[in-house]
Chain A
Amino acid sequence: MPDTSTGVVVIGGGSTGAGVLRDLAMRGIDAILIEKGDLASGTTGRSHGLLHSGGRYCVNDLAAAIECVEEGRILRRIARTTVEDTGGYFVSVSEEDEAWEPRFVEGCRKAGITCERISVEEARRREPALSKQVRTVFWIPEDGHLDPFYLVVGNVESARRRGGQVRTYTEVIGFTRNGNRVSGVLTRDAMTGEETSIGCQAVINATGAWSGFVARLLDVEVKVVPVKGVMVILSRRLAHAAINRCHKPGDGDIVVPGLSVAILGTTAVKVPHPEVLPIEWDEVQMLIDEGAKMLDGVTTARAMRAYAGVRPLYDLGAEAEGREMSRNFAVIDHEERDGIAGFTSIVGGKVTTYRLMAERVTDLVARRLGVSTKSTTAEVPLNDREDELDQLRHRPAHLGVPKPHGEEVALQPLLCECELVRPQDVEPWMKDPAVRTLEDVRRRTRSGMGPCQAAICSYRLAGRLVTDRGVDGRTATRAMADFLETRWRGVRHVFWGSQLRQAQVTTGVHLELFNVDRQLTKYFPPPLAGEGQGGGVPAEAAEVEAVGQP
């Protein structure tokens, strides 16, 4: 007898899983999403956030490009709150780039992407930071920025309102079977170790780069090639619109401005495991050098941190490697392919096409469950709250208009001053059982994502854990330290100039003013002599440290 029962278990809390959960909920199918970390903590949350017009794929991967065109338009309607409709430019900076142009223009035409060649002068008027090396410019109005965190959270919250459930930090450790049919999922809480079973009629494997590991629990093979991409975050946008190199997609050829930052992307390196994502200095340096060819100010801007994500490229058996591989997706019907009923994988794809992927896989599973309701995810907007998330770009306007005379709107306090996060933005998440670490709060609110990388807001958040969540002081302090350690891991790769200077303020606050290093030495001694010297914080601890359940 399982501990809980539901219709469908969705494994994976990235954009695809979240989209599937929502699609199921909207068709009235009971579902639980389980995720071994936090929502959007895998591939989705580590993407560069480009809402693809399809321009990047139109020459080499026409099918993927066409999907992007359609899905981009849909997202602009249904996920208006998470999309910045900035448009994008494809710029040539070399002769090779110029040779690529006719193919690019032809690709856009075939895929149905609006593409307009504009003069460099006009482009520079719109984007004054455009580099002097730029020779030709194409304007692609349908590129944009898609906030991956809000996208996932928006999908999940929409599903939750319709009865969908979500369990974060819940790993799959096995399946229960009834003959050749999957009848349930065995899970373990990644923090408490507690094991649970969930009975269900169907399982959807939406774990992207981790799909192979999940499938292997059922002794079936799903070949996904994990390809690492490194990105560097600059502390301001530099440009309004996304800037792409007009050439065969390659390393360091995109700058995506989003909200308050710009992201330089990216590299493509096959890795043995989706969680082995080392950030090499060469990669960071290359991203900055290449970015500077398109935009002025890249070399002199403040780099805040570097991070790595993993693309879940589905191996169709072709010879292709890395970028050559298709960004298309596939629904794997394991009943048909492997004789395992009730198990379906959705692999490949990208964030921009998450909804279509979800719709396709849900179509199949719904049909198997005998549900004939059609997907409505392309029509119904994600966010029926239309409040907080809607205004990301306009946060300053919310913060109170001070008037010395007459009516006064109170000046609201800020919890995270860099990213303009108010205490009330954090409050609901403190009560959410799916939120287990301060990193999780960050993903939902942007606290700690600004230039100071949580130097100040980490204390305020620790305080919230104590007051709003009833966590004890030591656990809260540990959560604060873990939060800072995770930020630090990204900061270390861009440790010069202002980010180095910033670190002196951060260590000043936490080590000197608060004496937290001694707090950690005393209460959290290093697991083994010699490891994690001084602070005694094991490097990977942050991802698994619980901060208590509400």
Chain B
Amino acid sequence: MITEDRETFSDTVEEEHPVEACTKCTACNTVCPVARTTEIFRGPKFLGPESERYRDQHEATVTAGLDLCSGCKLCEVTCPSQVSIQEYIRRAQNKGAREKGRTLRDWLLGHTRLLSRFGSLTAPLANFGNRNPLFRLLMERVVGIHRRRPLTKYQWLTFESWFKRHRKNPPLPLGEGRLGARRSVAYFYGCWVDFNERRLGQQVVAVLERNGIEVIVPRQQCCGIPAVVNSNTDLARKYGVENVRRLSQLPAGVDIIASSTSCGLMLKHDYAHLLEIPGAEQVGSRVYDVCEYLWMLHEAGELDIEFQPVDTRVLYHAPCHLKSHGIGYPAMRLLRLIPGVRVEEVDEGCCGISGTYGVKVEKYDLSMKIGSRLFEAVKAAGSDSVLADCETCRMQVEHGAGSRSAHPIDILARAYGYR
């Protein structure tokens, strides 16, 4: 006879998606770009769920092979059991680094904002140095940054400073868009837009304002992903706590948008899960990728779709971290609304750079090898440029395939007549 379930564990089947849910199907290893490219990597199944059973807070972490994980999260994306494989690897990396100490290089790369601020302040000098072969050789020897990896160009005027000016003197008065300022968004622009690609930030602001959306730029700290990928979740948590505190103070009804896939994913997901920051869940639920947000407007009938034709054939590369958002490819949908734009997805997997991973002297070759399929496909396609939502993907494609690249917002901005 079947009785009523007892008020015991009876039917509280395991946690939602704990490490134990792994059924050893090995799907993660088959999609892992690192495991597919080199035989020196045991793969996410081993470093994640399998090793996790042997990790003990009372004992030193075995770090062998951990640093080869690039953090693309494709293992999590593909896991049929939805195990947070990569989070376990991250935690172990952090614990291992805490026990053994971090290299100067990894410490520096984790402190991107500090580095960028310095780069921005000394922009001409920093940019010269970054292109000077002798200086790069020195950097490789001393710090461990591969000398062939092109480094980001810094700009003197930060996005933050630009926005302060813009606020006082908006080129397009609010409400001139189709709908009036019915919505306000807070823009999490991230270090990249602030110090390296102000233009993208300006385009984001223009596109939003064109649609009658008030843009707020709250004070913000680095999202923390550079620290996370450099085995320093402790530092990332510090940044995250600061961001969560600031973003929590935004008035209700103000959504948060990000134009960097990885910053967005940190805010949406990793703050609450990997870093376990109190209040992060509420902030995360308000965060949208910029294209996701615009598509939502479109579905609500609020997006101005009177685009000027843009005659271009572009390739779209979906960043790995975008897949983790679980929102599909909103950029592709938006681009298809624009007359003249012929967009094709180049579905060749991970580009290989994974933030600061491909910058490191010991990872550069591997990173380029991972991306080689993508580079070949881009070269073969012979199109104008490659679009990608993530800045380091764009850097890598430019470097590996020799093509131009841009954020999808670039095309949208052009379709609205913004130059």
Contact = CB atoms under 8 A, between A and B. Distances in A.
Interface residues of B, number: 42
Interface stretch (A35-43, A177-185, A220-228, A404-412): A404-412
A404 B363 contact: yes
A301 B21 CA distance: 9
A235 B50 contact: no
Q: Which of B14, B19, B51 has the most CB of A within 10 A?
A: B14
Contacts of B40: 402-404, 408, 411
A393 interface: yes
A200 interface: no
Nearest to B7: A289
A300 B9 CA distance: 8
A236 B19 contact: yes
B81 A501 contact: yes
B138 to A, nearest CB: 19
A299 B366 CA distance: 43
Given A285-B9, A496-B13, A396 B56 contact: no
B23 interface: yes
B363 A302 contact: no
Contacts, number: 115
A426 interface: no
A455 B53 contact: no
Contacts of B15: 297, 300
Q: Is the interface of A mostly helix, strand, loop or mixed?
A: loop
B114 interface: no
Interface string A256-294: 000011000000000000000000000001001100100
Contacts of B21: 302, 498, 501
B64 interface: yes
B276 interface: no
Contacts of A237: 53, 56
A418 interface: yes
Contacts of B64: 396-397, 399-402
Interface in A105-146: 128
Contacts of A497: 13-14
Contacts of A236: 19-20, 52-53
Interface string B1-37: 0000010111011110011111111000000000000
Contacts of A261: 53
What size tier do the contact residues of chain A reach? 35 or more
Interface in B56-70: 56-59, 62, 64-65, 68
Contacts of A297: 15
A455 B57 CA distance: 29
B73 to A, nearest CB: 21
Contacts of B306: none
A243 to B, nearest CB: 14
B63 to A, nearest CB: 9
Contacts of B361: 405
A235 B10 contact: no
A337 interface: no
Nearest to B19: A236
B12 A505 contact: no
Contacts of B51: 396
B38 interface: yes
Given A396-B62, A402-B40, A402-B41, A501 B23 contact: yes
A426 B22 CA distance: 25
B24 A417 contact: yes
A452 B49 CA distance: 12
A401 B20 CA distance: 25
A82 B131 CA distance: 58
Contacts of A301: 14, 18, 20
Contacts of B366: 404
A459 to B, nearest CB: 13
Nearest to B40: A402
A417 B50 contact: yes
Contact of A285 (B8, B24, B38, B53): B8
B54 A395 contact: yes
Contacts of A498: 14, 20-21, 23, 81
Nearest to A304: B20
B362 A418 contact: no
Contact of B365 (A403, A404, A408, A420): A404
Given A240-B58, A285-B9, A288-B9, A235 B20 contact: yes
Nearest to B58: A240
B42 interface: yes
B46 interface: yes
B62 A502 contact: no
Contacts of B54: 260, 393, 395-396, 420
Q: Which of B12, B51, B56, B361 has the most CB of A within 10 A?
A: B56
B65 A401 contact: yes
A451 B68 contact: no
19 contacts: A236-B52, A260-B54, A285-B9, A289-B9, A297-B15, A401-B65, A403-B362, A404-B362, A404-B366, A405-B361, A405-B362, A411-B40, A411-B42, A418-B24, A451-B20, A455-B24, A497-B14, A498-B14, A498-B23
Given A408-B40, A505-B25, 8 more contacts: A237-B53, A299-B8, A300-B18, A395-B54, A417-B50, A418-B24, A418-B50, A451-B20
Q: Which 4 A-B pairs have the closest CB atoms?
A: A302-B20, A299-B9, A402-B40, A396-B62
